[in-house]
A and B are shown apart, each in its own frame.
Chain A
């Protein structure tokens, strides 16, 4: 009954690119319409934002802000990944501890963590430390949860196969466990990537003098909507591009989809 097998195979690439293009055009149209409705003082037009952005990236001041965000983000992501994967592996292998911890982690995942930011500021003071810490508390939980689920969900028959083949512990981890959990961990890192970035940016938007998050809020306070719109535009482009690359790597090398 494989009726679909008889259909001509269409490459996923062609229509996907076209759909992406159409989506971008529609979104730009909506943006232009919103600009026309809300006015110059509320949101810059797409053209003005692109123009402002190209001017902005030529200034050294912008790159110092972007550098501040990037270094905080890189630090936060590295800590989130190491901590999250480590914690996830431990909790996944120790079933009881995993069952105790999982609902607590899920609960922490869905509370407004922004309320904890003042505590982090009190502990770390204003500066990069607080931003990194805030990025970490956003990013570490999803990475932990994805890793935990992956380890817990390994098909027991794979482990029994390893034992039937009399593989050593190191070999079992290298040849069975790691490849089995890798796809889930990569997905966790992709989600962690986005949330860590969000955490760092929110941190910069509150009580900070540096970073892209600061530039966004600063633009509003100075009635420089063009700056705010341009920085948001850049962040969206970077986030979507990074996500696209990670997704592509995931599909190409990890999930080995067609």
Chain B
């Protein structure tokens, strides 16, 4: 336990040290203030932006887009995962596709999505799902594959039907893996959607950052970056901690 604490404290010290170093480097004018501004100023500017409600629209836009993409990715990925698991021949056929899917730089499709769906949230949602759906499919397959055989035999020894086995044995057993899929779908949706907004969009946090960069508004740009990094890291860590709790409860001594 003490070792664990030492690790955590060291990690916090490193992050704090890094922030302080940035602060010092900026305050001592070792870097051009046009390139980098001190973290304290980023935070102050961000506070101003939030308090004034200036970025509320962009925040709402990005978060609603991400939320829709995650919900759709999880629902579609889960459904497809269950279906593919039930059809071994289809699964074998999809193997080459799944093996090479993540080697494709999916993001290059984004301009096409814009051409097809127009300059609105739809191409962003599709882009967010393009990363998340396969992750959820793979997580679902993984979870279903790893239901211990002895638990399935136990279900049969209690004479459970198909649905009852699914609800009371298969799904609870697969849950931690499904959670991993949700975590990945969320991270991928943020990555895809903010990148899409950054390259080509009419609103959203990614768009606001690119807009601030083009307009040489470094303060706004850094404040928005800080916001995105802090919020996304916070959300990822929350899901990660949740997943860790479920996994730990299951971990065999």
Contacts and interface: CB of A to CB of B under 8 A. Distances in A.
Contacts of A101: 11
Contacts of A201: 105, 107-108
Contact of B221 (A118, A198, A217): A118
A216 B108 contact: yes
Interface stretch (B72-80, B89-97, B150-158): B89-97
A122 B111 contact: no
Contact of A220 (B36, B111, B210): B111
Contacts of B237: 107
Given A121-B213, A242-B103, A110 B191 contact: yes
Interface in A116-175: 116-119, 121-123
Contact of A43 (B104, B115, B229): B115
B210 A96 contact: no
Contact of A38 (B93, B109, B116, B229): B116
Given A112-B232, A194-B102, A34 B116 contact: yes
Majority secondary structure of chain B interface residues (helix, strand, loop or mixed): helix
B95 A19 contact: yes
Nearest to B231: A111
A19 B191 contact: no
Interface in A188-225: 190-191, 193-194, 197-198, 201-202, 205-206, 213, 216-217, 219-220, 225
Nearest to A200: B105
Majority secondary structure of chain A interface residues (helix, strand, loop or mixed): helix
Contacts of A114: 191, 194-195, 198, 206
A25 to B, nearest CB: 11
A57 interface: no
B199 interface: yes
A20 B10 contact: no
Given A100-B7, A213-B108, A216-B111, A115 B198 contact: yes
B99 A117 contact: no
Given A34-B116, A229-B112, A247 B198 contact: no
B138 interface: no
A239 interface: yes
Contacts of A219: 111
A15 interface: yes
A23 B97 contact: yes
Contacts of A118: 209-210, 213, 221, 225
B199 A206 contact: yes
Contact of A247 (B99, B107, B116, B240): B99
Contacts of A255: none
B15 interface: yes
Contacts of A111: 187, 190-191, 228-229, 232-233, 236
Query: Which one of B100, B224, B229 has the greatest number of beta carbons of chain A within 10 Å?
Result: B100
Interface of B: 6-7, 10-11, 14-15, 34-36, 92-97, 99-100, 102-109, 111-112, 114-116, 187, 190-191, 194-195, 198-200, 206, 209-210, 213, 218, 221, 224-225, 228-229, 232-233, 236-237, 240
Interface of A: 15-16, 19-20, 22-23, 27, 34, 38, 41-43, 96, 99-101, 103-104, 106-107, 110-119, 121-123, 190-191, 193-194, 197-198, 201-202, 205-206, 213, 216-217, 219-220, 225, 228-229, 231-232, 235-236, 239-240, 242-244, 247
21 contacts: A19-B93, A19-B95, A22-B93, A23-B96, A38-B116, A96-B7, A96-B10, A100-B11, A101-B11, A106-B240, A110-B190, A112-B195, A113-B191, A114-B206, A198-B106, A198-B107, A213-B108, A229-B112, A232-B108, A235-B104, A243-B100
